[in-house]
Structure 1
Amino acid sequence: MCVVVQGKVIRFDEVRGYGFVAPDTGGDDVFIHVNDLEFDKRHLAVGAVVDFTVEDGDRGLKASTVTLVTPAPVLAGVGASPAPVGVPAFLPPLPDAASRAGETPTERELVAEVTEVLLAGVPSLTAEQVLATRGVLVAVARSHGWV
């Protein structure tokens, strides 16, 4: 039985033709290769949302039959001035702190937000580095009772 999963592309090397997708359901990131795309590879970029089937490959989880759901957000318009050095061109909108006053985020919400901030703020991080950093931050939050 094949189950279609949706996720966001968190890393993609156009030259080598592979990267990783973070499933919306959580869990380990999934390897993605251009040979498994059902669309033009020029439309695949970090931040794109894709549907895919997960296969257990020789080296771990692998995406197959990958279809594009939502293209990656455009980071800067043509002719736009570049962001200052060290400042990401795009950061995800952070929740309004006033609207969440007194509410403790769930662990899943924290994991999602930390992942988005790491990917947007430090795009050079590898999937392994994102997972390790996210794990440490969530463990600290858990130890303090923040989640």
Structure 2
Amino acid sequence: MLQVGRVLRFDEVRGYGFIAPNEGDEDVFMHANDLLDEKYQYKAGSEVEYLLEMGDKGPKASQIRLVNAPEPSRSTSGTGPVDPHGDYSDVLSPVELRNELTEALLQADPSLTGDQIKRVRTSVIELARSHGWIES
């Protein structure tokens, strides 16, 4: 039976993660062998369709497909969308990015003025928006 949900997390290196189904309350296990798109495209928050099966340890997804697959843009230089630390990444809203940028800028250089911080934030948020790195 075809189901829809959102990726909670997916570890590309380990090859597994979990989906929060739109219907139901139990998270669904996902494995890289069951992905129909490139595994680097499966990020936290991505909407997916999948067939629900019952595995030995609970619900398991198979034939997992991204609902809105992004255009391939993976870098071969090793600086592409893969997190080198193996952490799970989330897509931030513009407000969340602004708040995190403010904290990072103040930590890096406490002497920055409010106007300087605003100019840098605006520039970085526009860059992130133009690349689809933040939610619209």
In the alignment of these two chains, the number of paired residues is: 82
Whole-angstrom CA distance in 1 between matches of 2:40 and 2:5: 18
Whole-angstrom CA distance in 2 between matches of 1:11 and 1:55: 19
Question: Which residue of structure 2 aligns with residue 28 of structure 1?
Answer: 26
| Higher Cα radius of gyration | 2
Q: Which runs of 5+ in 2 are unaligned?
A: 71-89, 105-136
More moved, 67-76 vs 32-41 = 67-76
Measured against aligned partners, the alpha-carbon deviations of 1:35-66 in whole angstroms (never above 9, x if no partner) come to 00111111111010000011100111100011
* Alignment TM-score, normalising by the size of structure 2: 0.52
Offset at residue 71 of structure 1 (A):
5.0
* Alignment TM-score, normalising by the size of structure 1: 0.48
Q: Give me the identity figure in percent.
A: 44
Q: Aligned match of 1:83 in 101, 110, 114?
A: 101
Whole-angstrom CA distance in 2 between matches of 1:46 and 1:61: 19
Offset at residue 26 of structure 1 (A):
2.5
| Runs of at least 4 residues off by over 2 Å | 70-77, 80-86
Whole-angstrom CA distance in 1 between matches of 2:47 and 2:64: 10
Matching residue's letter, 2:10: F
Structure 1 vs Structure 2 CA RMSD: 2.8
Q: Relative to structure 1, is the Cα distance of residues 5 and 58 closer, same or farther in structure 2, using a 3 angstrom cutoff?
A: same
Question: Which residue of structure 2 aligns with residue 51 of structure 1?
Answer: 49
Q: Does 1:65 align with 2:83?
A: no
Kept after mapping to 2: 8 A contact 1:50/1:67: yes
Question: Which residue of structure 2 aligns with residue 14 of structure 1?
Answer: 12
Offset at residue 76 of structure 1 (A):
8.1
The secondary structure found in structure 2 opposite 1:47 is: coil
The secondary structure found in structure 1 opposite 2:67 is: strand
Q: Relative to structure 1, is the Cα distance of residues 43 and 27 closer, same or farther in structure 2, using a 3 angstrom cutoff?
A: same
Whole-angstrom CA distance in 2 between matches of 1:31 and 1:42: 17
Q: Which runs of 5+ in 1 are unaligned?
A: 87-147
Q: Relative to structure 1, is the Cα distance of residues 84 and 65 closer, same or farther in structure 2, using a 3 angstrom cutoff?
A: same
